[in-house]
Amino acid sequence: METGRLSLILAVALGAATCIPYTYAQQTQQSQPAQQSTAQSDDSSQSTQEGQNPLTRQLSDKEKFKQQKELKNELHGTYKTWLNVDVKWIITDQERKAFLSLTNDEERDAFIEQFWQRRNPDPDSPENTYREEHYRRIAYANEHFAAGKPGWMTDRGMIYIKFGPADDIESHPSGGLYERPMDEGGGETSTYPFEVWHYRYLEGIGENIDIEFVDTCMCGDYHMTINRGEKDALAHVPGGGPTLYEQMGMAKQSDRFQGGLETLGSGPYASTQQAKEFDRLELFAKLEAPPTVKFKDLESFVSNHKLLTGPIFPFDVRTDFVKVTDDTILVPITLQIKNRDITFNTKDGVSKGVVNIFGRVSTITDRVVQTFEDTVEVEQPAELLSKTLNTDNLYWKALPLRPGRYRLDIAIKDVNNPDHVGVYARAVDVPRYDDDQLSASSLILADKMERVPSKQIGTGNFIIGNTYIRPRVSDSATAPATFHRDQNLNFWMQVYNLGIDEKSKQNDAKITYEIIDTTSNKTLLDTSEDSKKLGANLDQLTVEKSLPLASLQPGKYLVKVMVDDSISKQEIAQSAPFTVE
């Protein structure tokens, strides 16, 4: 009787249990349309409602924007290899962060070009010996230091790629018997394979640098170590390889592991070695860090906005804008320094001045996007120095930037007078050249302008495209550029987005040039030409003109270039003041 009742209860319970999933499924299916409707009306509750498939739900506008941004920023192919392999050991944290923030390949290409150019020991040369040497070192590291992984990934590969071949290498490829020097405790022991690389000098690190690598796995993978006792293969063998003090009963083997960076044990120089532990930590950190900026002192003026304590080193700056692509604008930056402001040292009849330059471009949120640094040397025969004090020296750097607002900081230092420092800080608005808008580059006035050989196109100082153009820099942001009557007035400008006729496939614009006497407001030159003469089928034209100034009297003038496009029905004009002396 009891058994039958128990069986009946179990059957009812099991039947109820099997009905629950079916009933719940029906309720879930019926509630899904309502839930989906609610989810579409309230994006913030999508992720918390039950019965909704997260893989098929509609994304909010915020999520879509985030997804598109991540897709744009995602590195692929050669760019990922360049960042994570080619320059892994030499790129700075700021440069890495800036590169990862780029959103298209054109920007990445421009960044990579500037990355190598910044390190080029001879910026005027089309060859970049730094880049060539860097890739040679990678190839050498892969050939000589591979150990179950590519050689560039090993510690020896890292050091070789950063600093090149050591001046001397103490190599123990098989380990074995080792006579400890006294500063390591003295006595004999057996070691793992190890090497000590000696550099007489490493820039930014110091002189007489010893770097020790140990192969504790006996597999060829030497790792850099801060502990010179790590190579001791008998360190954990009782009574094995005693130090001098251990042999004399003045220390115990266990004392080696009582703390500290090194497990050398007690010895005649033990206290001296302990005092150098922080020096070894600092050295290790410097070796693992990317190569330092050359002019760290100048960088501090830019980064920390330090106050100048010595005499101000004056210089003038000019910025121009030239379209490269829709998203990339070339920004040539020209510095002008006068000889009279430079300190010259005279030796063997030659007077020499040296100026260090450091520049940085950052966004309004203080994110660094470009840096540059260089040294300018000026030499004059000592007997002619007094006659050339008013001579101007120009430094030119062209940076690719995206349209937007930036801050440009520049610091310069007179090397022969270290307290003689100058700083410059200005906002730079890089224009956007829209496809449907007739527009133009900066109108650049130059004292020298000429075509360059084909092999120099786009490379070297003062070269834009196929033209060498050296700008005239005014003494202040509001002052006009100055020319002499025996010079030519050279001016250069590019025109973008000219209309093209659908039938003839040609442009049709009138380009007018005027020279105006600003004192009398009288037009001294008024001439024009058809855009077809400069390139009938092009939507982009380059205007290059050279006019002698001998006929102009000393005074203030204005050059004006106007473009009237009859196809797009748009007009633009660019002007620049100048003075004739």
pLDDT, one tens digit per residue, over 453-490 is 877 776 778 988 889 999 999 877 678 989 999 999 99
CATH of domain 296-432: 2.60.40.10
Rounded Cα–Cα distance for residues 421 and 415 (Å): 9
Cβ density class 54-91: b for 16+ within 10 Å, e for less: eeebeeeeeeeeeeeeeeeeeeeeebeebbeebbbbbb
- 229, with CB counted inside 10 A (0-12, 13-18, 19+), is buried
Q: What CATH number belongs to 433-581?
A: 2.60.40.2550
* End-to-end C-alpha distance for the chain, whole angstroms: 127
Domain ranges of the chain: 166-288, 296-432, 433-581
Residues 164-172: what's their mean pLDDT?
A: 93
- Average the pLDDT over each of 207-216, 217-226, 273-282, 384-393 and give the range with the smallest value: 273-282
Number of Cβ within a 10 Å radius of residue 21: 9
The percent of residues above 70 in pLDDT, for the chain, comes to 81
Are 296-432 and 433-581 in the same CATH fold? Answer: yes
If one compares 222 and 374, the residue with the highest pLDDT of the two is 222
369-394: pLDDT as tens digits: 888 888 889 998 989 888 888 888 99
- CA–CA distances in Å: residue 477 to residues 225, 316, 542, 560: 55, 8, 26, 19
Q: How confident is the model at residue 256 (pLDDT cuts 50, 70, 90)?
A: confident
Q: Where are the beta strands (DSSP E) in 274-420?
A: 316-319, 322-323, 329-338, 345-347, 350-363, 368-381, 392-401, 404-414
Residue 16 above 60 pLDDT? Answer: no
pLDDT value of residue 31: 42
Query: What's the mean per-residue pLDDT of the chain?
Result: 82
Q: How do residues 433-453 score in pLDDT, each as one tens digit?
A: 988 899 999 999 999 999 988
